Amino acid sequence: MNHIKAIGFDLFNTLIAGEPSAIREAVSRLIRTLRQNDLDIEPEAFVQAHRDAAMRFIQETRSHGRETHNSFWISAALETLGFSVPPDDVRISRGVDAYFSAFLQNCRLIPGTSEMLETIRGQYRLGLLSNFTHAPAARQIIEVLGLTPFFDTVIISGDIGYCKPNPLVFQRLIDQLGVEKSQALYVGDDVNADIAGARLAGLRPVWMTYTLDKDVPPPPGIPSEAVDEPDSSVPRVSNWETFLALLDGGRFA
């Protein structure tokens, strides 16, 4: 078994989490912005239409591995309510920016994240691989929370057009880290996208359950779904002290 030389991390609910009110505030800002741009939508009807559209597009993404974008969800929701507004309309672009602005102000590092990354920086090549539909917002959040300097590469699904668990995105991570698949760990919270995806791509997964154990809301705009737990061969950690102990204890030697 090859020695670990690189570690990849998921972003939301692995390194950072949103405040419980973040999604509610984001949707509120989206609705307010659409109404300010002459789209006289009824808020409660839009919330339901938007959620239904998001579920539909996300299910399609899970079936073919290509990333979606919030602009399509908003356009579809508006169409349901009788408004014909294409995804590239400037009013929708403003709505997307308003939606994600809530997360810039309502995200926090999971306890011990900076200290953990500081500890392992220099010992391993470090990469960030995130499923995030609107890449500019993801990069802003990463920068605002002070994570950018820790990583040798940052890959956002919204930039490359494909998302986890598609093996293509894990291969992009490996290529940019410059290691063999068997020499890389991937740490994430999502059993399908992160754990099964990493394993399918040949990386060695670690299941981060801090937010599951703390009942933290799902990432922005992503409806949650029930999933089976990974098998017992996948290490489970609920805090970064346990993760560092796994590294130091030779589990991945």
Q: What is the average per-residue pLDDT within 189-203? A: 96
Q: What's residue 1's pLDDT?
A: 42
Dihedral of alpha carbons 159, 162, 165, 171, sign: negative
Between CA 208 and CA 189 the distance in angstroms is 5
Distance of CA 55 to the CA centre of its chain: 16
Using CA atoms of 200, 204, 205, 206 in order, give the dihedral in degrees to the nearest 10: 170
Name which of 222, 226, 189, 190 is nearest 103 in CA terms: 222
> Judging by DSSP bridges, how do beta strands 107-109 and 16-18 pair with one another?
antiparallel
pTM: 0.92
The tens digit of pLDDT for each residue in 151-177 reads 999 999 999 999 999 999 999 999 999
Name which of 46, 12, 237 is nearest 142 in CA terms: 12
44 has pLDDT over 50: yes
Q: Three-state DSSP class for 127?
A: strand
Q: Are 163 and 131 in contact (CB under 8 A)?
A: yes
Dihedral of alpha carbons 56, 58, 60, 66, sign: positive
Q: Residue 183 — very low, low, confident or very high, per pLDDT cuts 50/70/90?
A: very high
Q: What's residue 223's pLDDT?
A: 53
Between CA 168 and CA 139 the distance in angstroms is 21
Q: Residue 43 — very low, low, confident or very high, per pLDDT cuts 50/70/90?
A: very high
Q: What is the average per-residue pLDDT within 125-135? A: 97
Q: What is the average per-residue pLDDT within 134-141? A: 96
Q: Encoding tokens for residue 114?
A: 């900076």
Between CA 155 and CA 56 the distance in angstroms is 25
Q: Residue 38 — very low, low, confident or very high, per pLDDT cuts 50/70/90?
A: very high
Between CA 184 and CA 5 the distance in angstroms is 6
Q: What are φ and ψ of residue 228, in 5° steps? A: -75, 150
**Cα end-to-end span (Å), the chain:** 7
Q: What's residue 229's pLDDT?
A: 84
The tens digit of pLDDT for each residue in 207-251 reads 999 988 887 766 555 555 556 789 889 999 999 999 999 999 877
Q: What's residue 177's pLDDT?
A: 98
Q: Strand 204-208: give its sheet, edge to edge.
A: 153-156, 125-130, 6-9, 184-188, 204-208, 236-237
Q: Encoding tokens for residue 120?
A: 């392992």
Q: Which amino acid is at 206?
A: V
The tens digit of pLDDT for each residue in 73-88 reads 999 999 999 999 999 9
Q: What's residue 121's pLDDT?
A: 96
96 has pLDDT over 80: yes
